[in-house]
Amino acid sequence: MITITMEDSVSECERHRCEVRYVLQLRVQDRNKAMEYLSLVREKRKEKAKQLEDDCRKQWELGNRGDKGDWRE
């Protein structure tokens, strides 16, 4: 049996936000690199990749460029 704790969900949330910031940093450097990364994620994670893509798009629109700790609501 696997037990999921509040700490696990917080860690997963932070991991996701870090990945979003990573993609945004790639986007700042080279849009094609970011698109390539998202394409690979889509291949591996299938429908689960949608949340990453959606959050990247939203954070970019809000002005987030991937700086450490930056998350915009």
pTM: 0.87
Token couple for 40: 């690979």
Give 6 or 27, the one with higher predicted confidence. Answer: 27
**Three-class SS string for 20-73?**
HHHHHHHHHHCHHHHHHHHHHHHHHHHHHHHHHHHHHHHHHHCCCCCCCCCCCC
Q: Domain boundaries in the chain?
A: 18-61
Instruction: Give me the percent of the chain exceeding a pLDDT of 90.
Output: 86
pLDDT at 10: 79
As a whole-number percent, the residues of the chain with pLDDT over 70 amount to 90
Mean pLDDT of 32-59: 97
Is the pLDDT reported for residue 37 higher than 60?
A: yes
Helix/strand/coil (H/E/C) assignment for every residue in 59-73: HHHCCCCCCCCCCCC
